[in-house]
Chain A
């Protein structure tokens, strides 16, 4: 399959119509605007750069985002979580968004929010300051004088407050006594500190300087108590506690106000922000376009199949635009890649997207790997019961929610994976492991189950391993043949015969050779194997050194290339994971069932534990094994299959459309 053909389009627009035309392009949503390289575009842009909206879009957008950032943390989202995660947001037209924006008092809301944020911050800082003093006052509760003695002093007495290492306290007391016989020293425990003590020293005013010096020598750290503390510590603490209470209630009030503002404004604010975002995206598109005094020039990529629709979308602007289709590509133009697949392949496209875009004109691998992924996922999960549970989950999601776009594709992928899981589970006889055999009341299902079984990997893992490896050979050869056809189309016959033909012949030959040596096939086929292997090896030796200079180097590189057979061997053996993961699912399920039966034997409460173990265990097992099935099936595609023919050398189409965060924009008008 190839990617969609795109056309380069030149569009000249009269400045008067620019806003409307950009709007129409954005609603159309299937054109990519080519951003000009540095030398053209904005640098030479004469005249008005942005579209004139009559106000500064950037500032308004900044305000709206600021307001959302503040308010969203207080906003309770309506509706259920799954719906928000899975469904597209509410639908609106640009005209509706415009109306909502017009009616929204953005600047006054922003002003109010700034005030309230400031008030909240001030409240917080006062609260933490007050808490600190509260704990200080708590330590000073037994201080026998009024605090004004420390904060202001009297005509004759001065006080000082601070912390001092505990071991220096006797020394401090002695030193102060020698300075003045009136000196008084009080010490208190302070906070969590074991060593530091709180110290209050009272001394005659004229000794202040010497007292300070003496204390500092002993490691004293002074603390300032604000002058407002004058009364006894106990009543001051009482006052402070009341203040803290008030601050707490003020904070609660503020938070309530934020919540009220959030529930009132967030829904419209989001729409306003989306509207401003749309204007901004138009501004950017306009800014990047080359310009003359009267016109703007856009270059676009558009899928060829959509060009008639584009012409129709721009029909109303006929007198203001000039459109040229199929412009020749210039140097440096890289057309974008658009995957174009039949409907049944769509669910698998997200996996190609994950790997990277195919180059323009290259192969789109989606349809090639889709059947393999479908099968491999089933083989890895390989349990009818898990498959049914998985399928029901997705059917319910599709039924209950309106899931669209990439999410829908991805969920369909998992749904189809669960279908294949049910089929593989039935054929290998695994229904939640060995549930039908383990639980006596389900034993009646065993004959029905057995009637569907083709191969039970628990009993016969080797046959299942061989089947896995055969699938590996098939996919590797398929990958090589895709590359071969591609090379033939490009008329690169040497590459087709050597790079792919050589390997395909050698691999098939070696397999027949191996089977012959084991006596599984008649001697004639064994001989054919020998011939094919020899032919393949000769082809490889002859072609793999073709880029080297000189006959010796050519031959040496050719011979060395045969060593790559190990990488093909590794690729094919890698498919043995299909067996291992399938076995793991069946065995884990079996273990859960065995434990359930064991636990159910506990008297009286056994059945409760049994039910919990059964449900919890199988839920866990389904989750882990589904993740494993997905990751490993994907790996087989990315590593073993893609490496044969596919390089992700392209870039994805990025159409100019509404990329809004909170609403789904349906178009310009309703």
Chain B
């Protein structure tokens, strides 16, 4: 029974890691995709804007990194990367799963929202390339919430003692 519980604990932690990397990554993928479509449109007119467009397209990509980061921290915690042999109780596993949720959820939705903002800002620099500074800040406003979610996930993970 105890062995079963140990396996359940580890599996729940893995579910958390999978959700964090999977959902936040999907959010980023959609976001970067939306921004990329807009960027391609702008570059048909002016291929010289590649650098700026790429910068703005990359901005919604960070949620995926935050998700991956949380996922790694989660599996490090249960000893699946090197280390090994850590026993994880059902409750600890559930805790890790919950700790992964903030970045999974906020990463998914903020990635999409940031992608839309980036797309709009790419349209903006098409007309006013001198306003690049502002165009970079607007998507960063959206990212704040992914950063806060990452913060919460990390603090929660840190709070679970194994």
Contacts and interface: CB of A to CB of B under 8 A. Distances in A.
B136 A584 contact: no
Contact of A624 (B65, B76, B137): B65
A635 B154 contact: no
B154 A591 contact: no
Contact of B66 (A355, A584, A631): A584
A559 B66 CA distance: 41
Contacts of A639: 137, 141
Nearest to B151: A580
Given A588-B65, A598-B81, A354 B133 contact: yes
A594 B141 contact: no
Nearest to A573: B148
A105 to B, nearest CB: 30
19 contacts: A354-B132, A354-B134, A461-B154, A465-B155, A576-B147, A576-B148, A577-B148, A577-B151, A583-B151, A584-B69, A587-B72, A587-B154, A588-B65, A591-B69, A591-B72, A624-B62, A628-B62, A634-B133, A635-B140
Interface in B112-162: 132-134, 136-137, 140-141, 143-144, 147-148, 150-151, 154-155, 158
Nearest to A583: B154
A576 B158 CA distance: 16
Nearest to B155: A461
Contact of B154 (A354, A580, A628): A580
A341 interface: no
A57 to B, nearest CB: 27
A587 B137 CA distance: 25
A591 B65 CA distance: 11
Contacts of B61: 624
Given A579-B151, A587-B72, A624-B58, 5 more contacts: A461-B155, A580-B154, A583-B150, A598-B82, A627-B55
A638 interface: yes
B17 interface: no
A461 B147 contact: no
B13 interface: no
A584 B140 contact: no
A409 to B, nearest CB: 14
Interface string B25-66: 000000000000000000000000000000100110110011
Interface residues of B toward A: which range?
A: 20 to 34
Nearest to B76: A594
B137 A631 contact: yes
A634 B144 CA distance: 13
Interface of A: 351, 353-355, 461-462, 465, 573-574, 576-577, 579-581, 583-584, 587-588, 591, 594, 597-598, 624, 627-628, 631-632, 634-635, 638-639
Give the 9 A-B CB pairs with smallest separation, nearest first. Answer: A354-B133, A580-B151, A591-B72, A631-B140, A577-B147, A580-B147, A635-B140, A587-B69, A580-B150
A443 B140 CA distance: 38
A588 B69 contact: yes
A503 B61 CA distance: 38
Contacts of A354: 132-134
Contacts of A627: 55, 58-59
Contacts of A574: 144
B86 to A, nearest CB: 15
A632 B155 contact: no
Contacts of B76: 594
